[in-house]
Structure 1
Amino acid sequence: DPCGIPTLTATSATPLIRKDGKTKLIQTGNVFIYQDGKHKIIITPNTYIEKDGKKKLLITPGMRIEKDGKFKSIIPCNGSTTTPPVSDTTPPTISAIQSTATHQSATITWITNESATGKVYHGTTTPLNLGSAQTVSHASLQTGHSLSLSGLSASTTHYFVVESKDNKGNTATSTEHSFTTSAAPDTTAPTITAVSVSGVSSTTATVSWTTNENANSKVYYGTVTPLVLGSASTTSAGALVTSHSLPITGLTASTTYYMIVESKDAANNAALSSETSFSTTN
């Protein structure tokens, strides 16, 4: 041995003591120790530690530990000091958490100061219970994180916590944040009722109807049936109202006219009535 320390072997006089599988073996006398890194053992000068490839490496043969059960200082035979790598026990730092939401989805973004995985816990109750919350995640190690939540309820406050874990298993969890989804878009057309024709003369008539929500007004009319909307004459008004009335002028006397009324709401949902008719006077 370059340090002048004999290599110890088991003999009947100095037997190796095998213990519980965590501390592999301990021999008294010249103090021969295999150490697993989980136990703190004070090692006095001239203690010799062999390398064990299955455990945390303390020193290689030919190196001597002066003292310190935490194994911070390793002194080789020439007296110079080297320091073994320090284990990473620091979790990532999470910052810049942001959320953007629609009526049924949201995107959560954040950054970490080191490459890490990403996970979002979310739900509609607060404080959020991470054990029962819904989750989305990515396993790739990165510093910029973005995860999408889908199938959310509209017009609802959702609470979330983000989590990132580095390649050593150190985990960081954010504080609880929230966002509110928008209202679901209006996809329902107005309901048209009470279509009627009044004030019919030889050349004019007035068409009236009601809708269950504010909407604009339009009348398609002509002398053929079924009425073809693409080629029919029209009259219209852009105001959004529930009571609709439109005059029709320039009609021909003693003629049957066919008509369809239309109303569109603010979301451009359109409703059409069935075809009806009226006849001008002589």
Structure 2
Amino acid sequence: MSAVANPRAERVEAAGQAPASVGESPVWRAAEQALYWVDIPARLIVRLRINSGRRTEWLLPEKVACIAFDRRGTVLAGCETGLFALTLPEAESAAASGGGPVKVVPRKLAAPTFAFDDMRFNDGRCDRQGRFWSGTIVQDMAAAVPGGALYRFDERGVLSAPVVDALITQNGLAWSPDGSTMYLSDSHPLRRLIWAFDYDIETGEPRNRRVFADLHDYAGRPDGAAVDADGCYWICANDAGLLLRFTPEGKLDRQIAVPATKPAMCAFGGRDLDTLFVTSIRPAANASEHDGHLFAVRPGVTGLPEPEFAGIL
């Protein structure tokens, strides 16, 4: 695909014909020229090697919602019962020959005290300094329980107390290029807000929380996000089939249609970080042929390398 004035998001056919139930947490690994993502209820981590089109799947014993990597390639995963470290064995031949996903045994690193039953981690990623951040949610969205909280897991392996609380559906974590601004959203239909914080890069403390964008003024709900090299914030507008780009001042300056109704999270990748990959969710009813699939678009801007976890897992 070439970058054009009105770029189109196209389905990545090499990602496979079976849609994800809840495709989330795309992460580009430059060293492998590969995109990783998860399917939350299927308990899968998926890798697609872009050049060869080879897909590999790993199966976890519980739902996995977000992932990051340390410098050795060990995965840090936010799951149902806590944060885990796991090694993904090379098993492409088994997966390619129809052997199915390879089972992985995670090692538990930390867990918060969940405020309610039926909770799990949701959106998560590392800040520019390599601290891992993720938030929790009550899985029954219809209950609209503000029991979620945002946590920081640092390079020493210490999980913080809740840093931001009273969240319904935590999402949208991202940092400005210099790391001095943190973004966070709540994608529940009752919230639909994106906040910005002043972020102390030395201590990892966010302060001065303010509304960055209120998606009641736009279409959709704010889901997963990415920041480009210009410092603009790209958010998946769930339920609207759109990618929205906000300037650092909170002004909407671009939008791109996605064939899936529920785009879930986006990440820059490709050799030059000029491709925006988008995972999506397949609704339980009235799903289209594209819902739940992976998409790619060349938006005409480049992204930033995804930070690795600063500790050793």
TM-score range, shorter-chain basis?
A: under 0.3
Structure with the larger helix share: 2
Radius of gyration: which is bigger? 1
What TM-score results when the alignment is normalised by the length of structure 1? 0.16
**TM-score, normalised via structure 2 length:** 0.15
